[in-house]
Structure 1
Amino acid sequence: MYEPNVVGDWQEYDEHAGLRVRVHRLEAAEPPRGRDDAAVGLTYFSVRVTVENRGARNFCVHLEDGQFDVRVGSDGEGAFIDWRNSQFIEGFDVYPLRRATAVLYAAAPEASLGLVDVQVQLRVDDEWADRRLWVGCIGGAEGSVTPAPAGAVPGGLAHQASAFLRDQPEPGTA
C-alpha cells in the first residue's frame, strides 16, 4: 500500500540521482503582502518546500504555481492558494550541496486544518518528476499528524497516515 510522506520527511528522486525534496514548516501564518479578498473568513497558513541537491551535478529546478495542490480536512477539499504572496522556484540551478526553498501561502476554514495534504510535482531539467504527497496538520509538531477523525473511512488517507505513524518507533529508539 502507498503510504504518504509525513510533513518534514525527505523524499529522494530515483530518476535524478542525489536530488531530494521535502515539505516542512506547515504553520499558521499571515501572508507578507496582506490577505487576498477571496480568503475572507479563512485561516491562512504557510508551507515550505525545499529541494536539496546531494548529487554530483547541478539541476535546473522549477517549482511554480500549478505544481502544488493543497487539500484540507477529511474530505480533501481544495485550499485557497494565494499565488500573489507565495514565493516559487523558477528555473533555479541547484548546485551540489545546495538547497532552494519555495514558500506557499494558502487559506482554508480553521476547522479543516487538522489534516492538510500537500502534493508537489517538481520539474527538473525540463522533465516532470513523479508527484509526491505529504500529510500534516496545523499546530502539530513537525513530523506528526493528528489522529484519524472519528468516523474516518478505514483505508482512507487519514486512517492510513494515523496507522502508519502509530506503528513507527519513537525517535531515538530502535
Structure 2
Amino acid sequence: MYEPNVVGDWHEYDEHAGLRVRVHGLEPAEPPRGRDDAAEGMTYFRLRVTVENRGERSFGIHLEDGQIDVRIGPDGESAFVDWRNTQFIEGFDVYPLRRATAVLYAAGPESSLGQIDVQIQLRVDEEWADRRLWSGGLGLHEGSAGAPAGAGRDSLARQVSNFLRDQAEEGTA
C-alpha cells in the first residue's frame, strides 16, 4: 500500500524517470464562464494538476475527463465536476524542464469541503501510470501562515495514513 500525497506535494513516477505530478492550488473560486445550473446551492472550488518533466526526454501527456476523480467529505461522496469549465491536458508533449497544468473546477456542499480527495491516473506515452491520491481541503492552506510550515499538512497526512493503515489491518483480520 502506498502513502497518499497531501495537496501541494510532488509525486515522482518511478516508471518514467524525471516525470512528476502534483495537485495544488486548492481554493474557493468561481469558474470563468459562469456557474453550471446543476451546481446551484453548492460552493465552487478550483484545483490545479501540474505535470513537470525533469528528465532527459519528452513525454506525451494525457489528463482528461475520467482520469481525475474528486471526492469530498468524510464519506467520500463524489464532487460535482464542472467539465465545461475544466481545462485538461490532452496529448501534450512535455519537454525536459517544462510543465503543463490542468485546471479543474468542482463544487459541493460547503460543509463537506474541509476534506477533499483527488485521485489522478495520468496517461504517459499511451501507457497508464498508477493512480495516485492527494488529500486536502478548503481552509487547509499549503504552508499556512498561522502555523509552522507544513504543520497543517503533516497532521492531515498523518490522519489519512492512520486511517488507511487501520483499514488495511481490518481487511487482513
Alignment TM class, shorter chain as reference:
0.7 to 0.9
Q: Which residue of 1 aligns with 2:99?
A: 99
Summarize the Cα distance change of 1:161–1:114 in structure 2 as closer, same or farther, 3 Å threshold. Answer: farther
Q: Which residue of 1 aligns with 2:147?
A: none
Q: Which runs of 5+ in 1 are unaligned?
A: 149-156, 164-174
Distance 1:158 1:34 in 2: 37
SS for the counterpart of 1:16 is coil
SS for the counterpart of 1:15 is coil
Alpha-carbon displacement from aligned partner over 1:129-159 (angstroms, at most 9, x marks no partner): 00000000112211645967xxxxxxxx983
Q: Which runs of 5+ in 2 are unaligned?
A: 144-151, 164-173
Summarize the Cα distance change of 1:57–1:126 in structure 2 as closer, same or farther, 3 Å threshold. Answer: same
Alpha-carbon displacement from aligned partner over 1:54-101 (angstroms, at most 9, x marks no partner): 000000000011100000000000000000000000000000000000
Q: Which residue of 2 aligns with 1:5?
A: 5
Task: State the TM-score, normalized to the length of structure 1.
Answer: 0.84
List structure 1 runs of 4+ shifted beyond 3 angstroms.
Answer: 143-148
1:59 lines up with 2:59 in the alignment: yes
Identity score, percent: 74
Summarize the Cα distance change of 1:121–1:72 in structure 2 as closer, same or farther, 3 Å threshold. Answer: same
| Aligned CA-pair RMSD | 2.1
Shift of 1:160: 2.8
Summarize the Cα distance change of 1:141–1:161 in structure 2 as closer, same or farther, 3 Å threshold. Answer: farther
Check conservation: 1:43, 1:110, Cα contact below 8 A.
Answer: yes
Check conservation: 1:52, 1:100, Cα contact below 8 A.
Answer: yes
Task: State the TM-score, normalized to the length of structure 2.
Answer: 0.84
* More helix as a share of residues: 2
Distance 2:139 2:103 in 1: 18
Alpha-carbon displacement from aligned partner over 1:90-113 (angstroms, at most 9, x marks no partner): 000000000000000000000000
Q: Which residue of 1 aligns with 2:141?
A: 141
- Tell me the number of residue pairs that the alignment of Structure 1 and Structure 2 aligns: 156
SS for the counterpart of 2:99 is strand
